[in-house]
Amino acid sequence: MSGKTAVITGASSGIGEALARRLVGDGWRVLLIARRRERLEELAAELGGDVLLEPADLTDPEAAARIAARAEAEFDRLDLLVNNAGGNRKHGAFGDPDYGYEYVREIMEQNFDSAVRVTQALLPFLRRSAPSAIVNVGSIAGRIARPKVGAYNAAKFALNGWSECLYYEQRPHGVHVGLVTPGFIATEGFPQPQLTAKLYTRWMVGRPEQAVDAILKAADGRAEVSVPAWYGLLPRLRYGAPSLVRLALTRRKP
């Protein structure tokens, strides 16, 4: 039994759920955060172990303070915060009907602002618990952009960049900050049918359990982990040959 503690956002499905299963199986005490109370309760009942729940909509500015208060009330120390909550409702080009500033702001708040709020609320506890770790689940979409997902790109570019800065700032305080950059991962929110339905593209899609392995590596000191691992080549191509990448994406079918 590890006796370690973790707060996981976006824990009701996909990567967050898979991470909860792994940590509870390894003897961690976990505080699971998600909007869907019923799903959290079902998961906790299934997992058994030392599982705590705090249903919360992280776009609510007051949610982070409630989460921090609950963590400090339940745990003597906090070893790990995983900012995993996020999503994207639709695709579209900026300027299309219903795909302007308001939608960009919504996706920024869901994927970036919420992680900043939760981190700010829990950072004093993490510092007092040092050595401890924060792992932000960003995206390859935050390293290389593609058409029709500009809002999601913007949010993940922001999260990825902020994570890098946070690493340098918190290292002197004993808090490691790791970043996970998934490519296509098949989850409830991102089922990836356009890829999984075809034999010749199915290989491009990873599993939530692979993302869990990446999160644990990042929590253990790695600066950035891509998943599946080969996705880490794409940012190198993007920065090494940006004109080639733009040409390839320009020629994609809309």
Q: Which residues are catalytic?
A: 152
Q: How many residues in total does the chain contain? A: 254
**169 burial via Cβ count (<10 Å: 0-12, 13-18, 19+):** exposed
Rounded to whole angstroms, how far apart are CA atoms 185 and 206? 5
Helices 63-74 & 114-128, crossing angle to 10 degrees? 30
User: Strands 29-34 and 5-9: what pairing?
Assistant: parallel
The H or E element spanning position 106 is helix 101-108
Rounded to whole angstroms, how far apart are CA atoms 119 and 169? 13
